[in-house]
Structures are given as structure tokens and as C-alpha cells.
Amino acid sequence: MRQFLKTALCLTVLAGTAVYPAVSAASDLELTITAPAGAGGGWDSAARSLQEAMMATGEAKSVQVVNVPGAGGTVGLAQFVGSAKGAADQLLVAGITLVGASISNNSPVDLTQVTPLARLTGDPLVVVVPKDSPIKSIDDLLATIKKDVATTIWVGGSAGGADHILAALITKSAGADPSKINYVAYSGGGEALAAMLGGQATAGVSGYGEWEGQIKSGDLRALAISYPEPIDGIEAKPLKAQGLDIELVNWRGIFAPPGVEGEDLETLQAAVDNTVKSQQWKDIVKARGWTDYYAPSDEFKGFIASETERVRAILTSIGLAQ
């Protein structure tokens, strides 16, 4: 398991990332990747890292990234489904948060309506508090929630997404009503981080990699991760190891529009798969420390269907869906 977790996918372009020589037999693909969220979050980072790697490997001639934030990614998804149908030069980055947002917002579109190309990462979420917080452990946080769920302010990503789900599950474990959670949703990871550093929240949830720097600097105190097992290099213990029967994998993947098929689909699948398997991608991954959850298109398609039903059941159980 440790080795599996070390083989990772990078979702953020780092300053100082190695520059690779141009590939002479570059693909003629000219792509646009939609990140259905603001700058600084996981989807934006995923898109820009894929952009870098596809161009470094020569799997694409050019890659443009566009941000379309709003409603947990459902605004960007709806635009993608509506305007990019059949387009072989358009891609979308998304993950579990968009699954949850589609359900909780009763969105007319969801990820079963686009074309899965590959599942990319499956990373732990981390539960944090500000460095000056009197909350020193997950048990302290549970006690705080139990005392007054309404004044326990959480920050994280979009409503109904992975961050929100984890906060609600922890609230439920504390014996409080998860439907009464005081959760402030942000479309970009940078905004949630600013709220945490500014002391405007009791606790926060994000992908570990997004807040790793602040955790290591001591500006944030990590109480737990959502992965089922410990991860090398992360001091925070899993929730399961601390007595809570909670695990949640924050996965992300890449999609083509509906209606892309035949040779066009095969070309996109090959470009993505070759990029993910490349040394350039692995080098970016190593620098970033993300975890591998790769699955090819056929396997990913089945996963999307089962994950949609699983997330719906969780959201229903905590009062975020009917």
C-alpha cells in the first residue's frame, strides 16, 4: 500500500519543476481543459499539471486551461455538456466533489453524462485547525461540535462536495445533527485557506496536498486524514485509527464531452494514458506528493456509476439530499 501511494499524480504545477526537451514528433492535438472551479483549487491544479505534462511529452501540441467556477462545479459541467458535445478538442477535470454537488444541488447534469477518459488521483482529505486553536486533537474537535454544532464553523470546498461530506460525517460521529452543520463553502482552495489562516473558522477540510505547506510550516494543525491507512510522510493519523469509522478518498479524473466516439475518442484516450504513464508526469507527481488512483476509461466508467450511488446514499444519510 505504501508503494502504491507513492506512485502519484500531480495536480499542481510547481515552481522549479523540471523543464523537458521538446518532442520532435509532437501530436497535432490542440486541447482546451475546463476546470469547473476558481484558481488555486484541486481541479485548477489538476488541469494545469495535465497541461504541462501533455505538452512536455508531446501528446498535445497546445493545451489551454479555462476556469468556469460556480455551484460546486455544476456550472462548468453544464456548460461543458451543452457547448462541447462531440468536440474532440475539449476536456474536463472533475472529481468526487462534483458528484456530490450535482446531487445536493439537484443539477440536471452529472458526470454520467460525459465521457470518462481516466481516473487520476485518490488523495486523502485532511482535517485542520488554526495553529492557535485550543483544539489539539480529533477528540477535542468532537467535543467542540457536541457542545454547540451551530458555533463550530467549518470551511472547505463547494457545498455537497468531498470536504462538506467529510465535515458532516465527523459532525454525525460527534452525536450532532449533520443537517445543522455551519459549513462555509468556497469555490477555490485559496479562499478557504485564507479563512483558516485568518482565524475565521473552527476547522477546515481540504486535500492534504493543497494545505501541506501550511501544515509543515505550523500555520495549520492537522488533526486527521480521511484515508483508510497511514501515509508515509504524513504525521496525521487516519480517522479510522482514531476511533471514527470514516474513510473518504478525494479522487479526480479527466473527461471528454458527450458524443465523442470512434477514432476521436481513441486518440484522446491514448494521449491521456500515455501522459499518465510518462516519466515527465511521474516527476511532477514526485515533486507534489499526490497519490495514484489511476484507472483506464472502461474501469473509470463503471466507477462513476457506482460512486454516484454511493455519494447519494451518504448525502441522504446526512440530510444533504433526498
Task: Collapse the DSSP code of 22 into the 3-class scheme (helix H, G, I; strand E, B; otherwise coil) and give the result.
Answer: coil
pLDDT < 70 positions in the chain: 1-26, 187-189, 289
Residue 298 CB: number of other CB atoms within 10 A? 10
Beta strand pairing call for 292-296 and 153-156: unpaired
Residue 167 is predicted with a pLDDT of 95
* Predicted structure pTM score: 0.78
pLDDT at residue number 187: 67
- Environment class of 47 (CB within 10 Å of its CB; exposed 0-12, middle 13-18, buried 19+): buried
Q: Where are the alpha helices (DSSP H) in 26-181?
A: 42-57, 74-83, 96-104, 138-147, 162-173
- Over the stretch 274-293, which tens digit does the pLDDT of each residue have? 999 999 988 877 777 677 88
Which three cell numbers, joined as nine digits, stand for 265? Answer: 475518442
Q: How much is the pLDDT for 265?
A: 97
* Residue 19, C-beta contacts closer than 8 angstroms, at least 6 positions apart: none
Spatial contact of 256 and 268, defined as CB atoms under 8 Å apart? yes
- The confidence score (pLDDT) of residue 26 equals 53
Buried b (16+ CB within 10 A) or exposed e, 56-82: bbbbbeebebebbbbbbbbbbbbbbbe
Q: Which three cell numbers stand for residue 87?
A: 468536440
Tell me 238's DSSP state.
Answer: B
Q: What pLDDT sits at residue 8?
A: 33
